[in-house]
Amino acid sequence: MIYDIFKEINNVPRPSWHEEKIADWLCNFAETHHLDYDRDAKNCIVIRKPATTGCENAEPIVLHAHMDMVCVAEKGKTFNPQTDPIEAYIEDGWMKARGTSLGADNGLGLAMALEVMRSNDLVHGPLELFITTNEEDGMTGAAAVSPDFVKARKMIDLDSEDYDTITVGAAGAYLQTAELPLTHEETKPGYDFFVLSIEGGLGGHSGVDIGKGRNNAVKTMGRVLSAIKEACPDLQLCTINAGEANASIAANAEAVIGVPKENSEIIEAMTGTLLPVNPNDPNMKLACTYAERPANAISDNATDALLECLEALPFGVLKMSEHMAGTVETSSNVGVLKTEKDHFFISAHSRSFVYDDMVALGESICQIFKKYGAKTNFIMSTPAWEENAESDYVHLVEQTFIDVLGFKPRKVQMHFVMEMGYFVEKFPGIEIVPIGPRIIEPHSTSERVELSTVDNIWKVLVELLKRLAQA
C-alpha cells in the first residue's frame, strides 16, 4: 500500500543535499522488485517497468517525483535530519508529523509512483519512474541530468499539492547565499545580557504561502534589533540565528544581546511592544529572558552592516500578475540567517513567472549583499515553465478527473518552482501534467495531507495510466 511505502521512505533521512541513503534505498527497491534502473552522479534515479501484457506497443510514460524533503523542526525539538526518521500520525482524516515537517512533499507522490512500479494488477504501457535530487534547495539534480536519462515524452508529475487542480505552469527561481564578514570583540563589563526569541510563526512555503501576509522571522528580528539599537546605541550583538530552510518563510529566530545595566529596564519594556500585531500570523511572539554573559560579541561595524543589509533585502510579494488573477508574479524571501565563525550566512530566494524580472531581482539582491561587504554564492536560476493548457494530453487528464472523481479540475499556474523548466530543455517535446493530493503548509512543522485526496489521486493515476496504454 501507498502508506506502507511512505512510512518506509520517512524512516530514511533525506534532506536536500544529503540523498545518498534514500537513493540507496530506491536502488534496493528496484532490485527487490526485479526492475531495471540507472543512477547518475547526482543520485538521480530512473526505474523502468515493462508494459502489462497487451500494452507493449503503447506510448511509454514517465512518472516523476523528487526524493528530498525540506526538514524543519519545532524549536526545542532534538532532531537531526541526516539521521532521524520522521514520525507521522493520523488525526481526523489528516496525516501530520510530530514536531517536524511531514515530507508529504514529495514523499507521498514518490510513494504513489513506487506503488505503481511494484503492483502486478495495473494496466499500463512501458513505464519509467524518474526520481530527482535536491529539488527543494537548488534543483541541481534536474539541472545536471543527461538528456538521454529519460526516453518517454509524456510525464505524469506527482509533485503537485493542489488536489483539485492540474498545474499548467510554475514560476522560475533565483537562489543565492551570502557570507557577510564579522569580527569578534570581548563582551563588556557592566552589561546585562538577554536572549530574544521569536517563536510561533506560521512560516510555510516561500512560494505557495508568500502571498498570505505572514511575518518572516529573519526580517522581524532584524527590525527588533534595529529598534533596540536606536534606543540603546551601546548594544552588543553576540549571536543571531533565524529561519529553518532556504525555501521556507522563517517562523523562528533567536538573538543574544547585551546592553548597559542602566538600559536593562528599557529593553524589558520595549520587547513587549516591538512585535506588531499581524492577523495573518497571530501566534508569533517575542520573548526576552536574561542570559549568562558570553565571552564574545560581534563588532559594532559588523552588527550595523547586518542590520542595514537585512532591512534592505526584499521580502514578500513584489508584483501580482496582470494576466493571472490572484496569482503572485514576482516575490522574494530571506530564508536563513546563521552566525558562523567569521561571517553571517544569509540565503535569498526569489521567484517570478517573468524570467528577466527574476534575474534582475536576483542581481539587485546580489548588489545589496555586495554593498555591505558580503561574498555571494549563486546557487540556481531555474526557468519558469508553461504547458499548453489546451493540449490533447491535458484534456485527457481533465476528463479522467471528471469520470473518476466527478469534478472538473481547475487549470492553474502556481507561484512555486518546479523542475519542469529544466525538463522541457533536457527532453525536447515532452508534455507534462502535475497532479497530487491536498498538502497544506508544506516546508513547515504544520505540514499535513488530507488522506481522502491521496486515495482519490491514486484512483485518477491508475485510470489515467490505463487510458494512456489503450489510446
- For the annotated catalytic residues, the residue numbers are 68, 135
Cα atoms in the 13 Å half-sphere on the side-chain side of 343: 14
Cα atoms in the 13 Å half-sphere on the side-chain side of 28: 9
User: What angle separates helix 2-10 from helix 20-32, to the nearest 10 degrees?
Assistant: 140
Cα atoms in the 13 Å half-sphere on the side-chain side of 222: 27
Is-contact 142 419, C-beta < 8 A?
yes
Question: Strand, helix or coil at 442?
Answer: coil
The C-alpha atoms of residue 201 and residue 215 are separated, in whole angstroms, by 7
Q: Where are the beta strands (DSSP E) in 6-83?
A: 36-39, 45-49, 61-66
Q: Which amino acid is at 40?
A: D
Which of 109, 22, 111, 103 has its CA nearest to residue 69? 103
Instruction: Find the angle CA(458)-CA(140)-CA(148) to the nearest 5 degrees.
Output: 75
Which of 6, 12, 10 has its CA nearest to residue 83? 12
As separate numbers, helices (DSSP H) first and strands (DSSP E) second, the chain gives 11, 23
C-alpha cell at 369: 549583499
The C-alpha atoms of residue 40 and residue 143 are separated, in whole angstroms, by 12
The C-alpha atoms of residue 220 and residue 239 are separated, in whole angstroms, by 15
The C-alpha atoms of residue 189 and residue 44 are separated, in whole angstroms, by 55
> What single DSSP character describes residue 369?
H
Beta strand pairing call for 88-91 and 94-97: antiparallel
Buried-exposed string 333-372: b where 16+ CB fall within 10 A, e elsewhere = bbbbbebeeebbbbbbbbbbbbbebbeebbeebbebbeeb
Q: Which amino acid is at 26?
A: L
Residues near 442 by beta carbon (within 8 Å), at least 6 away in sequence: 70, 101, 104, 105, 161, 204, 205, 208
**Residue bearing cell 521569536:** 198
Is-contact 414 171, C-beta < 8 A?
yes
